[in-house]
Structure 1
């Protein structure tokens, strides 16, 4: 048996890799491409004269930098494997980006697409199993098991991954019940994803509850992930927050059969004003509103000083910053921290680590860092990991490194391979979880509660009477009617009074008193809208209120302005 690897696009995204395996088929090298990012040219990578044929393509997830060249890599009728939910949305993803990104042969890709959720044989002696990878909804890494000459070896390709969940999909579990011999590790990292995600969600909630019309622009899967968090968050906190998904984001949500509280979808719309929420947020793509649904919606709110644009950007796009509406932008890069990268290598303890999705100094930092042979190459050469003599170290490592790695090498791969084949040790599946765990998603609930002044308990409904405030003020005199400031002392007219005028005045005041007494208290929250403007956001307001209507508000005696459960009462 011989196992080699080759970077498929080292001068572009460097996320695509070819695995070569000899010894499985007579006179043929089995070649598996994992991901097809920008500038992957399979004809230039494989040599048919040397009997190298593309046997399969494995797609880790539906992000452009992993499928952009997929239509150009369909050599030799190779099947395209993807986890079931990634395969489910791939047609919608292609439809949304085919023209903009020049995608080719998309129909042929879909014809050769094979969804998998369990062990699947590629050729005799080689099978693959998708493993949850977090990162984005439906993402998966791939575990390969190679069997030849009574020898079993395992290769795990992480793809982009996180140990965090992604809109209910599980993250990568470091406790993988298989001994991994070769780890092809995506080493892209992010130190501040969780803080940025929390900040973005907090900003959206603040602006919605301040009464702003909020448009959030994001890629399809990022928009889906944020909608999942906002919808469940509003339900848990019993807050009023409607979420409208439009265009591509709506199609992905519907295709994956999500059912999130407070979320509604509109895949197509004629009038942008009909899908812009006045008491919620509208989420559309792309991530910068220069095209598609996002552009149409942004043009509707751009000149409205009371509206808000929140851009969730993952990549090199420049945000829109010039508009009459308020604009915000957040860079959301869902990758693990450097410490998590170290934890993965330590937990799996592979013999070889192949670094992908990094180059130059960012990749070289991993050399000699672990008790493994680390490959941080930046070319399209083929490198041998295993041959007839055993595991092959990189040619540049020192003898001390060889001894260090080999001293920790075991033969457990073969033993565990037998166990996998005979007992089918259960592996985690790329299946959406039923429970909602904000912490596991990367959302800091404590920080959000502090920022938004939300208590741990649910808010009382509008029917709950407001608590009465104790007061030491003397009882009002009988010649003064206290009606929340709406009526003062009854005037005593000079001279002989006109009885009809007096009675008419009394009737008016009695009506106002009755209105004040029969009205009801409503919970409200003070919201800082910026520029010295404070707003009151009513909880469950009565239906007869209209935009622009003027109301008189009574603040109860002894009110504590720093409490987040301050009460305000409306005169009706």
Structure 2
């Protein structure tokens, strides 16, 4: 057996690649394409006598499948998790997909959901493994046989160790002789996610009409987190998911009594309410449900727009309503990437989704053969045994092979039958906000609850979804909250006070600390107020205590 790889779009994002398995007894190689991003042209990659055997689709972010329709040929199946398959199929029903994806019917017919090992051809099989990053996302383990031995390739796809709306992060105890490692990193996910969630909770509980915009899957993740937080006694955030977010929420079978799903609406006013949150896609209000709803609130001083983007689109910065934006690139930091490689102990690490200096920064980091190539040449990684790049010295080669052979025995788990144990891409039944990437201490401080309450958020049984009823006939309907907890009179009065402050404003004393030309700097006596203000926000200021001479 000989195994080669080839970058499928080296001049673009480089998230896509083609793996060829050359079997000694068969002339034609088995060709597997992993993801189909911008710039991929399978006809240019395959020789005249080669066929596309299968496509592995890691997740339903558009940049990973935007050329899928034009690259399907030879009746190749598209393997994906059931969640990713469902997310893409629901998108194919939209006008936006029809405008931006070729061959939607071909895609729909080619997608085959898998949860366990699937035979691609004799001696080669694949299965999804958890990868965090997004609901239902996965990497893929590819197993092939050479003689009596099984060898394993791991294509990570975009990954995190964090959970993603209940779905587990990438495991570190599976066999992986060769890893196609997504090198995209981000060091501020916890900060950005915590700030976004805290801002939404604060503004909603202050009585604002809040619109949060995000991609479809990120919108589902936001709804999952905020609904979980709403089960805390002191927090009430009624949520409506609309449009694409609602379709995904329903198709992925999420349920929570704090969340109302409205896939279609006629008028924006139907799904926007004071003191409630509406989540819509896309991530900036330039089109779709986001644009329609933003048009309703953009001149409403009591409304709030919170944009959660991945940095690919320019957010709205100013409007008649309060505006905030957060950039959330859900990738691991470099320390996490290093830890994953250290745990897996592969012979080969092939860097994907990075180029230039960002790809070269991995050089000499691991006790593995590192491939950070930037062209579309074919490179051999296995030829009867795992092999490193031709430019590696013999001394380095001996060191790596010795290190990996001694470490490999401890990196995997065997079942009673002797098979390798692989985790499933399956949503956790418990809720763990910290594992999702939230800084609970900072969040608790921002929304004024005890950290322990956020740590002990309990799961909600989806079989009990529906309207919440109380067994106490003497409990007034006004005391019911979305999470089923009862609200005290003091809590009601406190909430009414916050609503009044949001509508009429708050009175605070300020000291003039500097006046330069047209600029006046004020120091507000209430330091806590600063946490609720954002740069560029417009405030109505009432000035008192002046006499006529002050104007002369």
TM over 0.5: yes
Q: 1:125 to 1:462 in 2, by over 3 A?
A: closer
Aligned with 1:533 (options 505, 523, 531): 505
Aligned with 2:402 (options 399, 407, 410): 407
Q: Distance in 2 between matches of 1:533 and 1:298?
A: 23
Q: Distance in 1 between matches of 2:79 and 2:310?
A: 25
Structure 1 counterpart SS, 2:30? strand
Instruction: Kindly indicate whether the alpha-carbon contact (under 8 Å) linking 1:132 and 1:171 is maintained by their aligned counterparts in 2.
Output: yes
Paired position in structure 1 for 2:107: 109
Structure 2 counterpart SS, 1:77? coil
Paired position in structure 1 for 2:267: 271
Segments ≥4 residues shifted beyond 6 Å: 411-421, 457-460, 528-532
State yes or no: 1:455 paired with 2:450.
yes
Q: Distance in 1 between matches of 2:250 and 2:24?
A: 42
Q: 1:382 to 1:210 in 2, by over 3 A?
A: same
The structural deviation recorded for 1:87 is 1.1
Aligned with 2:301 (options 297, 300, 305): 305
Per mean C-alpha deviation after superposition, the further-off stretch among 144-153 and 339-348 is 144-153
In the superposition, the TM-score normalised over structure 1's length comes to 0.79
Q: 1:453 to 1:420 in 2, by over 3 A?
A: closer
Paired position in structure 1 for 2:20: 20
Paired position in structure 2 for 1:45: 45
1 or 2 for the larger relative contact order (CA 8 Å, sep ≥6)?
A: 2
Q: Distance in 2 between matches of 1:397 and 1:532?
A: 70
Instruction: Kindly indicate whether the alpha-carbon contact (under 8 Å) linking 1:62 and 1:139 is maintained by their aligned counterparts in 2.
Output: yes
Instruction: Kindly indicate whether the alpha-carbon contact (under 8 Å) linking 1:367 and 1:374 is maintained by their aligned counterparts in 2.
Output: yes
Q: Distance in 2 between matches of 1:75 and 1:417?
A: 36
Paired position in structure 1 for 2:373: 377
Q: Distance in 1 between matches of 2:54 and 2:486?
A: 57
Instruction: Kindly indicate whether the alpha-carbon contact (under 8 Å) linking 2:134 and 2:217 is maintained by their aligned counterparts in 1.
Output: yes
The structural deviation recorded for 1:404 is 1.9
Paired position in structure 2 for 1:203: 199
Q: Distance in 1 between matches of 2:399 and 2:504?
A: 64
Q: Which runs of 5+ in 2 are unaligned?
A: 454-480, 508-526, 529-552
Q: Distance in 1 between matches of 2:228 and 2:24?
A: 49
Q: Deviations over 1:347-369 (max 9, x none)?
A: 00100000001100110111221
State yes or no: 1:331 paired with 2:327.
yes
Instruction: Kindly indicate whether the alpha-carbon contact (under 8 Å) linking 2:207 and 2:502 is maintained by their aligned counterparts in 1.
Output: no
Q: Deviations over 1:248-284 (max 9, x none)?
A: 0000001111112300011111110110021211000
Q: Distance in 2 between matches of 1:379 and 1:456?
A: 50
Q: 1:422 to 1:434 in 2, by over 3 A?
A: closer
The structural deviation recorded for 1:316 is 1.8
Q: Distance in 2 between matches of 1:421 and 1:6?
A: 37
The structural deviation recorded for 1:433 is 1.1
Paired position in structure 1 for 2:69: 71
Paired position in structure 2 for 1:82: 80
The structural deviation recorded for 1:105 is 0.9
Per mean C-alpha deviation after superposition, the further-off stretch among 521-530 and 362-371 is 521-530
Structure 2 counterpart SS, 1:216? strand
Q: 1:465 to 1:18 in 2, by over 3 A?
A: closer
Paired position in structure 2 for 1:486: none
Alignment of 1:501-516 (within 5 A): none
Q: 1:206 to 1:464 in 2, by over 3 A?
A: closer
Instruction: Kindly indicate whether the alpha-carbon contact (under 8 Å) linking 1:8 and 1:16 is maintained by their aligned counterparts in 2.
Output: yes
Q: Which protein is bigger by CA-based radius of gyration? A: 1
Paired position in structure 2 for 1:349: 345
Q: Deviations over 1:430-477 (max 9, x none)?
A: 1111110000000112111111212357799545689xxxxxxxxxxx
Alignment of 1:51-200 (within 5 A): 52-96=50-94, 98-99=96-97, 102-176=100-174, 178=175, 180-200=176-196
Structure 1 counterpart SS, 2:405? coil
State yes or no: 1:428 paired with 2:423.
yes
Aligned pairs, how many? 478
The structural deviation recorded for 1:155 is 0.2
Q: Distance in 1 between matches of 2:205 and 2:347?
A: 53
Q: Distance in 2 between matches of 1:301 and 1:465?
A: 31
Q: Deviations over 1:23-43 (max 9, x none)?
A: 176111011001001111000
Aligned with 1:394 (options 385, 389, 395): 389
Q: 1:415 to 1:233 in 2, by over 3 A?
A: closer
Q: Distance in 1 between matches of 2:353 and 2:15?
A: 5
Instruction: Kindly indicate whether the alpha-carbon contact (under 8 Å) linking 2:79 and 2:112 is maintained by their aligned counterparts in 1.
Output: yes
The structural deviation recorded for 1:48 is 2.4
The structural deviation recorded for 1:93 is 2.2
- CA RMSD in angstroms comes to 2.7
Instruction: Kindly indicate whether the alpha-carbon contact (under 8 Å) linking 2:349 and 2:369 is maintained by their aligned counterparts in 1.
Output: yes
Instruction: Kindly indicate whether the alpha-carbon contact (under 8 Å) linking 1:462 and 1:523 is maintained by their aligned counterparts in 2.
Output: no
